[in-house]
Structure 1
C-alpha cells in the first residue's frame, strides 16, 4: 500500500480538541519534544501549501523555538531510506518498501530542521520507542514527559504516545502540530490518545505552560 494522496483539511481549533482526562502540565524541566517522522517522503502526501501541513509545520516551528529557549531536549525520529525487506519487516506488507535511498526524501523541511544539540533517532516501527534508544535518552536526561508533534497522528504519533504511557512517561500530543490522512483520522487519533494515554493540547496552550 502506498501513502494516500491527502486532501486539504482544517486543523482542529482549541474548541475541537478532546478534554483532558488527567491534570498533567508540561514542565520544561521534565519534558522533551519528539518531532515524529517529519521527513519529506511522508510530507509529500500532503498538499504543499495550506492546511493541514503548512500550519502544522508553522506550529511545530514555534514549539521548537520555545523548547530550545527553555532547554528542553529535542529529538527527531527518522527512517532510513532503502531499507531491506528484513529491516522493513511487517511494514513491507502494509506499506511497501518505504523511503527510497534519496537524501531529499529522507530530509526534513527547513522550517522545522534540526539545530544545535538536537538528537536524531533512527526509527524502525510505528512507535518511536520500538527498537530505539528513546527510553534511555529520556531517562539519561532526567525526562519523564514527552511532547509529540509530527505525522501521522493515527499511526506513529498515537502508538508512541501509548508506548510512553506504558513506560510511565507522560505524553502530550499537540493537536494542531500533528497531521494525518484526513480530518476524521486526525480527530480519531486525538480522541483515542486523550481517552487512553495522553493529554491533547494546542500549540497556544503549550506555549502558555511554563
Structure 2
C-alpha cells in the first residue's frame, strides 16, 4: 500500500473555517515557520499544474520570504531515503516503503529549496516533534509559536499542530498554505485545529501579523485564473479558452460568488455581479488588472 494519486481540488478559503476558539495572534518574536514534507515524493502524487499545488507553493513561498525579512526561523521536515524497517516501523503497514522506494524524489520542490541558514529536520513520524530536536530548538530560542504549512494537512500537519499544543506551543494552521488527500480532509483538518488545538487562518492574515504584505497575484493573471477555475468546472487549465463563457462550461453562481469573495480578501475587490456579467477569463483578467 502506498499514497494514491491525489485529485485536484479548489483550495479552501478562510470563510470556510470554523470559528477559532482562541484569539491567539502570530508574534514574529515568538514564531517559527514549519514547511512540512514539501518533497517531490509527496507533491508528485498530484498533478502539479492543477489546484491546489500552484497556489500552495506560491503561498508557502510568500510566507518563507516574509519569515526571512522578519527574522523568523524557518524549519523544514524531510523524510530520508534510508529508512530501515526498525526506523520506519508501523509506517510500512500503512504506506509501504515510502521514500526509500523512490530515492530520486527526495528533494524539496523547486521554489522552496531550503537556504543555508534554514533548519532541515529528519522526519520519522507524522509529527514534526517526534524523534526530532524541534521543541528543544524552539525553547532555546525563546519561541513558542509554530506556523504550519505543507502536506498533508490531515496527517503530519495536523499531528504536528496537536503535539505543539500538548507541548505548550501555539500552532497556527495556514489554510491556503496546506494541501491534502481531498478537499473534505483538508477542511476537516483546518476545522479540527480551529476548534481543538490552535488557530486556523489564511496566509494574508498571517502575513499581516508578520508585517509583510501578500503578493496579490501570480506573475501571470490569466494562468493563475485558469488554475483557480479549472477544478471548479472539472476541466484541465489548458483546455479553458480565455474567451469561453464559463457559465456555459458549468461554473455556477455559488462557486463564482466564493471566487469573488476570495479575490476581494486578496486585495483585488471585484463583485460577483462583475464576474457574472463578464464570464470569460479574458474579461476577468481585465477586471483584476484594473482592481
- Alpha-carbon separation, structure 2, partners of 1:20 and 1:66: 24
Map of 1:192-207 to 2, 5 A cutoff?
A: 192-207=192-207
- Name structure 1 gaps, 5 residues minimum: none
**Greater helix share, 1 or 2?**
2
Tell me the equivalent position of 1:136: 136
Question: Paired residues, what number?
Answer: 210
Tell me the equivalent position of 1:72: 72
Tell me the equivalent position of 2:50: 50
- Alpha-carbon separation, structure 2, partners of 1:66 and 1:14: 20
SS of equivalent residue, structure 2 residue 99: coil
Q: Which runs of 4+ in 1 moved over 4 A?
A: none
Does the Cα contact within 8 Å between 1:144 and 1:168 map onto a contact in 2? Answer: yes
Q: CA deviation at 1:102?
A: 5.6
- Alpha-carbon separation, structure 1, partners of 2:157 and 2:119: 18
**Larger RCO of the pair (alpha carbons < 8 Å, separation 6+):** 1
Question: Relative to structure 2, which stretch is displaced further, 32-41 or 7-16?
Answer: 7-16
- Name structure 2 gaps, 5 residues minimum: 212-291
| Coordinate RMSD, CA, aligned | 1.1
Q: TM-score, normalised by structure 1?
A: 0.97
Does the Cα contact within 8 Å between 2:17 and 2:194 map onto a contact in 1? Answer: no
**Greater strand share, 1 or 2?**
1
SS of equivalent residue, structure 1 residue 29: coil
Tell me the equivalent position of 2:12: 12
Tell me the equivalent position of 2:166: 166
Higher Cα Rg, which structure? 2
SS of equivalent residue, structure 1 residue 112: coil
Q: TM-score, normalised by structure 2?
A: 0.70
